[in-house]
Amino acid sequence: MKEILNQKKYNVSEGIRIVYQNGLSGSGIISRCLISAFCEKYQLPIMNSPSSARAIVWNKYNFSILLGALGVPVPQTWLYDAHKGWVGDEHPHLGQLVIAKLNYEALAFGIDEHSTFEYEKSADFRLKAQSISLDQPIIVQEFIPGQEIYITVIKSDKIFLSKPVLLSIEGKMLDGFDYLTFNKNRGNFAVEFEEFRPKNRHISDRMLDVAGRAFELIGLSGLGRFDFRLTNTGRFFLFDVAEVPSLSEYHATSRSLVASGLSNNDIIPTILSCNLIEKGLI
């Protein structure tokens, strides 16, 4: 990249030179798409999803509305902007249980420990204050009580779906009204993942099918993680997608791939090899 910015010739004589982004910095759609867009501009082979798909993923409201319109089961979703109010003048009905999240951040997290509430008009004041202080719109979703399940998708010349893994906090499954917050994720809470083995195999099969379909609908490439909520009646909802998920040893993506038979040392080489195959470079 420095060679290109300094207008030097891009030399590929020493084999294939590729770009792979692991981890994200900054906030907002532009910062999430910047490296992919740069590589597309200068025709650098990047082993991540295209900027168009990443732009969809990182506007969580648009992503939810788009997938819902295409038949993917997602929670009811609304957007509150400090300057515009409720987008489309649509909001939850009075008394509906909802959760407030940041529109340009991971939807796996509520804003804080008070993010779930039964909607009343007075909540608009708090949403407006949060939108101003956090400098972005607030996404409000129907809260889905139940378990939280993660599936990883890898693409080469075909789609590979990992075994689902189940989230637990402090040794307890999220089998009710608990949820992750940014403080819990970054603090000293024991966040763990284990293989999801439902009594009804049909449930996990349907979740895998939805994850693979959503991967293709969004236009992702190489790698993606799909986050679901599963109720005690067997209904499930896709509520978030990560196109550059953390590959930390104890995070959901790595744990789902280990549950599927990979070792931790195999994960990054496998992802890169599959992406090279997908892009026709090997």
Residues 111 and 186 in one domain: no
Looking at 142, 171, 194, the residue that finishes a domain is 142
> What is the value of pTM for the model shown?
0.89
> Could you read off the pLDDT of 99-128 as tens digits, one per residue?
999 999 875 677 788 889 999 999 999 999
Looking at 116, 142, 168, the residue that finishes a domain is 142
Token code pair at residue 278:
């997908």
* 32 pLDDT higher than 60: yes
Residues 28 and 153 in one domain: no
Overall number of domains in the chain: 3
Token code pair at residue 189:
């809470």
Token code pair at residue 166:
């189940």
Residues 254 and 152 in one domain: yes
Residues 169 and 32 in one domain: no
Structural domain harbouring 37: 2-48
Nearest Cα residue to 277 out of 175, 190, 155, 178: 155
Secondary structure (H, E, C), 145-193:
CEEEEEEEEEECCCEEECCCEEEEECCEECCECCCEEHHHHHCCCCEEE
Residues 112 and 28 in one domain: no
Residues 107 and 149 in one domain: no
Q: What percent of the chain has pLDDT over 70?
A: 85
> Could you read off the pLDDT of 41-57 as tens digits, one per residue?
988 899 999 999 999 99
Confidence of residue 1 (pLDDT cuts 50, 70, 90): low
What is the number of residues in the chain?
Answer: 282
Cβ distance 175 to 147 under 8 Å? Answer: yes
CATH of the domain at 239: 3.30.470.20
Residues 104 and 238 in one domain: no
Across 16-32, average pLDDT: 77
Looking at 142, 161, 196, the residue that finishes a domain is 142
Residues 121 and 6 in one domain: no
Confidence of residue 88 (pLDDT cuts 50, 70, 90): very high
* 12 pLDDT higher than 60: no
Whose tokens are 């008009």? That residue is 121
Across 137-149, average pLDDT: 93
Q: What percent of the chain has pLDDT over 90?
A: 66
What average pLDDT does the chain have?
87
pLDDT value, residue 180: 58
pLDDT value, residue 25: 64
Residues 118 and 188 in one domain: no
C-alpha to C-alpha distance for 212 and 256, rounded to whole angstroms: 15
Largest CA distance in the chain: 64
Residues 158 and 266 in one domain: yes
Strand partners, 79: 139
Residues 138 and 152 in one domain: no
Token code pair at residue 183:
């403080």
Residues 59 and 177 in one domain: yes
